[in-house]
Amino acid sequence: MRFQPAMRRALLLFVCAFVLRAGAVAAQGIRIAAASDLQPVLPAIVSRFERDTGRSATISFGSSGNFFSQLQNGAPFDVFLSADIDYPKRLESAGLAEPGSLYQYATGALVLWVRRESGVDVTRGLEALTGAAVRRIAIANPDHAPYGRAAVDALRSANLYEQVRAKFVFGENVSQAAQFVQSGNAEAGIIPLSLARSAAMGTAGRYSEVPSSLYPPIEQGAIVLRSSRNKDAVAAFIDYLKRPDIIHELADAGFGPPRARAPR
């Protein structure tokens, strides 16, 4: 079959456009929407992933609930690392994520954190929040932040919620909540263990872990977005998160181990 000159030009333009589009997608790399509790550890993991695989990736941090809303409205991400596995499940149910790509990569934990010079006795646990020395308690906004909801659940379970709710100052996400207490804009904060163990906060403050029996498990899930044009690269990234050394790195950062398979 012989093509007319006009058809040959059109075909050539189509092929060039396809190659350029594929090249642009590859150059852009994986776009990761990640829960803020991962800030102390995920950049290093992604850097190692890039070095080991030759693929590139960019990370945006924020609250899981806000990312969920954005992804429902077509936000351009390839993979979602949520602090609440329910959000990825809901995206999958809505047909916005790749079926079968859900993976529980970690389990989170809560702590009560105060500045090192604070007179608040964190060994008293959440009961310390009822004291007059604590005028403001920083937590992530429970309307869209899983750790904020867990903090409220823990206080309710300890029968302290009504006593301290007037002291709350809400961060847009857990990182902002941690900044409030670290900067002195709150006397205490209920934040993720991963942030409390970070280099900056580890030297600046003291913490005690909130008993896990006081709040539902913070099961954190990753999922591939159906709209992604980098599905092979994203699948490689999810597989990377399953490596024993990465699971160990997350554990060192304050995360509990994932289950062998995410609950369905």
Domain ranges for the chain: 5-107+219-252, 110-209
170 or 259: which leads in pLDDT: 170
pLDDT at 64 over 90: yes
pLDDT per residue as tens digits for the range 141-195: 999 999 999 999 999 999 999 999 999 999 999 999 999 999 999 999 999 999 9
CATH architecture of 5-107+219-252: 3-Layer(aba) Sandwich (3.40)
Instruction: Name the DSSP letter for residue 208.
Output: E
Q: What per-residue confidence (pLDDT) applies to 5?
A: 55
Q: What per-residue confidence (pLDDT) applies to 257?
A: 85
Helix (H, G, I), strand (E, B) or coil at 221: strand
Q: Which CATH class is domain 110-209?
A: alpha beta
Q: Do domains 5-107+219-252 and 110-209 have the same CATH topology?
A: yes
Number of H helices, E strands in the chain: 11, 10
User: What rounded mean pLDDT belongs to the chain?
Assistant: 90
pLDDT at 12 over 70: no
pLDDT at 63 over 60: yes
d(CA 50, CA 29): 10
- Interhelix angle 231-241/244-252, rounded to 10 degrees, is 60
- Each as own residue / partner, the long-range contacts of residues 24-27 (CB below 8 Å, 24 or more positions apart, any chain) are 25/229, 25/230, 26/230, 27/56
pLDDT per residue as tens digits for the range 82-103: 999 999 999 999 999 999 999 9
Helix (H, G, I), strand (E, B) or coil at 154: helix
- What does the block give as tokens for 53? 């695989």
pLDDT per residue as tens digits for the range 25-53: 444 599 999 999 999 999 999 999 999 99
The H-assigned helical ranges of the chain are 5-28, 42-53, 64-72, 86-93, 146-157, 161-164, 174-182, 193-196, 199-204, 231-241, 244-252
